[in-house]
Amino acid sequence: MGSLLVKNGTAIVNGVSVNTDVLIENGIISKIGCCLNGNGIKELDAGGLYVLPGLIDEHVHLREPGLTYKEDFGSGTSAAAAGGMTLVLDMPNTLPPTDSAERLIEKKEIVGRKSHVDYGLYGLVRDTSEVTEVIRMINSGCIGFKSYMGPTTGNIPAPSHGTLYTILNALSEADVPLVVHAEDDGLIKLFTEKANKSDILSHLNSRPYVCETFSVGELASLSEYTGAHVHVAHVSSAKTVKIIGWAKMNGIKLTGEVTPHHLFLGSKIYDTAGNLAKINPPIRSEEDGKALLNAVSNGIISTVASDHSPHTVEEKIGDSPPSGFPGLETELPLMLDAVNAGKLGLSDVVRLMSENVARLFGIYPQYGSLLPGARGNITIISLNSRAKINAEKFYSKAKYSPFDGMELKGKVVYTVVGGETVYDGEVHDDIIGEFVKGK
């Protein structure tokens, strides 16, 4: 754990911009205030820059174990550091999937030696899940659980309604959230059969918005009945926003996450990027993106995450391209560009990508804040600098992006994890992050 005095920055504290210093001692924020003296502690001059609580990406696929030719924890967390992320929460659809306490512990032992930022691990809820194993995974430190209601990498069967109800009852009692990829398997199969396989938009046609809204409607009912917190991953449709808004008004613990690609791209991207932009759920209309952006700004959608889901370029341009693309190194610059365009405030970015995430997983204020006693994780950004996205220079193994070549205003300058500067224009891969347990 490191010690660092961040001087002369403009910090976002409780949603307010404050000109202040931040002192980190032995990995923990000890003081925040003007004109602090570090008594010889290493100083970082943040003059002209914004100091944010360490940003958290709640939705990454770092592909380890089993799929490390696509990505591994070393390359993936290097990408995270370069993207301003101080904590990543890794999904369980690896090979083998993280569906037991033993596999969770084994995964932690494998990846913990190479994670350059802090990390948490999801457990999987699948068709064969049982309450006893779910409780064992909670006791072993999993940050939360993930379930897939439709086809996904790893070919994991969706849980039945009975299994989902039983597990949600247990998660409600434990106060642990279930994050769900909400696209109905049966409807996807139906529309896939109808889709024109030769059309570049066939993937979009095979997963219309009703696949998502149907699944989210069921989840809202189960959340209301069990009292469990269900968090809908990568919301893609304006129709889904209405369901989540209705749930919020009625006190149901149904919340939503959105990705930058669903916010800022429209389906026209398929004309230029083709299958490099193929992802689940698909990128929809510009009108959907506008509705999602409105939902982010008004609080109906509570978090933003990358859904970093890398594959090799060869896979993406092949005959059967998988869904997914890297996002860890583009998500924050895209959000900062939106701030500069007046679409969001910088305090919104902190709320959506730090504080709300930490609250969702029960780790606030140790994470997601700049309060004394919090982990010394800080993201330092410039709103004035311009940079062009260059996928060839990604730290991720997946060196492509539908955003490649886009010039954005706003960039990451420093990423600090536990008082150690892991990124300052380059990643310092000798720094190793900590495992973050759930509740």
Q: Is the pLDDT of residue 191 over 80?
A: yes
**162 and 225 inside one domain:** yes
**Residues 168-186: tens digit of each pLDDT:** 999 999 999 999 999 999 9
Residue 438 lies in a domain: no
Domain limits at 18? 4-50+374-423
Same-domain check for residues 185 and 244: yes
**Phi, psi (5° rounding) for residue 202?**
-60, -35
- At 194 the pLDDT is 84
Tell me if 16 is assigned to some domain: yes
The answer as to whether 67 is a domain residue is: yes
Rounded Cα gap, residues 285 and 268, in angstroms: 8
Which of 360, 386, 402 is at the close of a domain?
360
pLDDT in tens, 226-254: 999 999 999 999 999 999 999 999 999 99
**What integer pLDDT is reported at residue 200 of this predicted model?**
66
Q: Is residue 114 part of a domain?
A: yes
Structure letter (DSSP) for residue 159: P
User: Angle at Cα 170 formed by Cα 164 and Cα 172, nearest 5°?
Assistant: 95
- Residues 142 and 233 reside in one and the same domain: yes
Pair (208, 286) in one structural domain: yes
Residues 6+ apart with CB under 8 A from 258: 234, 235, 236, 292, 295, 296, 301, 303, 304, 305
Assign 199 a pLDDT band (cuts: 50, 70, 90): low
* Same domain? 44 vs 91: no
Tell me the pLDDT band of 198, cut-offs 50, 70 and 90.
low
| 238 phi, psi to nearest 5 deg | -60, -30
Residue 195, pLDDT > 90, answer: no
Is 430 annotated in the active site?
no
pLDDT of res. 105:
98
Q: CATH number of the domain that 386 lies in?
A: 2.30.40.10
| 272 domain residue, yes or no | yes
Residues 12-17: what's their mean pLDDT? 93
**Distance between CA 123 and CA 90 in Å, rounded?**
9
Task: Sort strands 50-53 and 4-13 into parallel, antiparallel or unpaired.
Answer: parallel
Evaluate if residue 276 carries a pLDDT over 90.
yes
For the segment 17-45, the average pLDDT, to the nearest whole number, is 95
Same domain, 29 and 87: no
Same domain, 304 and 389: no
292 is a domain residue: yes
Q: What is the mean pLDDT of the chain?
A: 96
**For 138-160, b where at least 16 C-beta lie within 10 A, e where not — what string?**
bebbbbbbbbbbbbbbbebebbe
CATH number, domain of 143, equals: 3.20.20.140
What confidence tens digit (pLDDT) does each residue in 412-432 have? 999 999 999 999 999 999 999
60 shares its domain with 150: yes
Mean pLDDT of 260-274: 95
Number of compact structural domains in the chain: 2
pLDDT digits (tens, 9 = 90+) for 90-136: 999 999 999 999 999 999 999 999 999 999 999 999 999 999 999 99
At 183 the pLDDT is: 97
User: What per-residue confidence (pLDDT) applies to 248?
Assistant: 97
Of 99, 118, 307, 337, which is the active-site residue? 307
Please state whether 43 falls in left (phi above 0), alpha (psi between -120 and 50) or beta.
beta
44 & 69 share domain? no
Report yes or no: 402 and 388 within 8 Å, Cβ to Cβ. Answer: no
Q: Is pLDDT above 80 for 439?
A: no
Say if residue 64 is in the same domain as residue 45.
Answer: no
At 419, list the tokens: 């008082």
Residues 327 and 379 in one domain: no
In a domain, 206, yes or no: yes
In a domain, 366, yes or no: no
Does residue 154 carry a pLDDT above 70? no
Whether the full predicted model's pTM is greater than 0.95, yes or no, is yes
Q: Tell me: pLDDT of 219 over 90.
A: yes
- Listed residues 319, 338, 360: the one ending a domain: 360
- The verdict on 121 and 206 lying in the same domain is yes
Indicate if the pLDDT at residue 150 is higher than 90: no
